[in-house]
Structure 1
Amino acid sequence: MATLSPLQKRAQRKARNSTAMDMNLVALIDVFTILIFFLLSSATGVETLVSPKAVELPLANSIQAPKDTVVLVVAGDEILADGRRVALVSEALASKDDLIPGLKAELDVLASRQAVRAENRERLAAEGQAVTIMADKTVPYQLLRKVMATCARANFSDVSFAVRQRVEG
């Protein structure tokens, strides 16, 4: 029997102990794709409103989840409708009329975009559309009354106020 060199012995041992294991990457990729799709689709079920830093919402004992509506933000010195500035608070307070013209115009545009199908248009004309008002807790009632009156004139009669949920402790 011929003696093997240490290098040959090592090569023989490696050949004898090696178990080739192939991994099926296609199945692994399929699993990860399904997992990502599931996570993305379930993440959209969370219903929270993002509150701007300039708005300190009042506390309430509300447990009702927010609806997907047009969001009006009354903060600082401006009024925003779905993120676009539509009026200044100082001008709205100085006005003798309850109607805020810039807000009314923007709400009319938003109302026309939301009701594309004819049956939805008829339902919204009968019931009115929904709007959520996010106002700082220091905003005067006179301004909120003007905002609500403008919403009502634009057929947004389902008005909700955004609040922070009070934590019972």
Structure 2
Amino acid sequence: MKLTPLQKRAERRARNQSHVDMNLVALIDIFTILIFFLLSSATGVEILPSHKAVKLPYSTAEAAPHETVVVTVSAEDILVDGRVVATVDEVMAAEGDLIAPLQAELERLRTQRKVIREENEAASRAVTVMGDRQIPYRLLRKVMYTAARADFTDVSFAVIRKYEAS
């Protein structure tokens, strides 16, 4: 039986056609989630992890925060990157300004961080203190003194930015 050119073309097309069905709804869902994730993580705002018991002071600071070791001072505890290292009562009762457990934890973190480039050395010596606005200055002085003794030379304070009407 002889096929017409139209029938030959239809047969060739049927032979070359693959039967793969693609569910575009699932792909659209995946891309939507991916775009949402990329947009939410691409914001230029740095958010420091916050302890619920710490009420930060207000400031008109202009400098944006950068990623550092975070020392949180609440009314009850002193935490380094979320780990409790000392209680405020013990620290306030102790003589002198050095907080030994805080110094040990900061030195441990300092030795863990490897600095590859020399220009990043200053950033590895940075610490951010998140102190409750009600903590006494004596406690804050002890934390700063201990951070300096642990070779953290760049001490920053976390604050809530207060916007002024212009």
The interval holding the TM-score normalised by the smaller chain is 0.7 to 0.9
Give distance in 2, aligned partners of 1:146 and 1:36.
46
Percent same amino acid among aligned pairs? Answer: 43
Deviations 1:116-144, CA, capped at 9 Å, x for gaps: x5436x852x6751111111111111111
Q: 3-state DSSP class of the match of 2:142?
A: helix
Give distance in 2, aligned partners of 1:127 and 1:49.
16
- State the 4+ residue runs in structure 1 displaced beyond 6 angstroms: none
Q: Where does structure 1 lack aligned partners over 5 or more consecutive residues?
A: 1-22
Give distance in 2, aligned partners of 1:114 and 1:103.
17
Give distance in 1, aligned partners of 2:37 and 2:153.
34
1:49 shift after superposition? 1.9
From 40, 45, 52, the equivalent of 1:43 is 40
Deviations 1:63-118, CA, capped at 9 Å, x for gaps: 32221111111111210001111111122222222211100111111112222x54
1:47 shift after superposition? 1.2
The answer as to whether partners of 2:110 and 2:124 remain within 8 angstroms in 1 is no
The answer as to whether partners of 1:128 and 1:158 remain within 8 angstroms in 2 is no
| Larger gyration radius, structure 1 or structure 2 | 1
Code of the aligned partner of 2:153? S
The answer as to whether partners of 1:130 and 1:159 remain within 8 angstroms in 2 is yes
Q: Give the corresponding residue for 2:6.
A: none
Q: Give the corresponding residue for 2:8.
A: none
Aligned residue pair count = 143
Report the TM-score when normalising by structure 2.
Answer: 0.74
Q: Which deviates more from structure 2 when the two are superposed, residues 89-98 or residues 150-159? A: 89-98
Give distance in 2, aligned partners of 1:41 and 1:95.
48
Q: Give the corresponding residue for 1:162.
A: 158
> For the structure 1 residues 31 and 63, does the alpha-carbon distance in structure 2 shift closer, same or farther, using more than 3 Å as the test?
farther
Give distance in 1, aligned partners of 2:63 and 2:117.
27
Q: Where does structure 2 lack aligned partners over 5 or more consecutive residues?
A: 1-20
**What is the correspondence of 1:1-169 to structure 2 with a 5 Å cutoff?**
24-26=22-24, 28-45=25-42, 46-115=45-114, 117-119=115-117, 123-124=120-121, 129-169=125-165
Give distance in 2, aligned partners of 1:94 and 1:31.
61
The answer as to whether partners of 1:130 and 1:158 remain within 8 angstroms in 2 is yes
> For the structure 1 residues 51 and 35, does the alpha-carbon distance in structure 2 shift closer, same or farther, using more than 3 Å as the test?
same
> For the structure 1 residues 127 and 25, does the alpha-carbon distance in structure 2 shift closer, same or farther, using more than 3 Å as the test?
closer
> For the structure 1 residues 123 and 52, does the alpha-carbon distance in structure 2 shift closer, same or farther, using more than 3 Å as the test?
closer
The CA RMSD over aligned residues, in Å, is 2.4
Give distance in 2, aligned partners of 1:162 and 1:127.
16
1:161 shift after superposition? 0.5
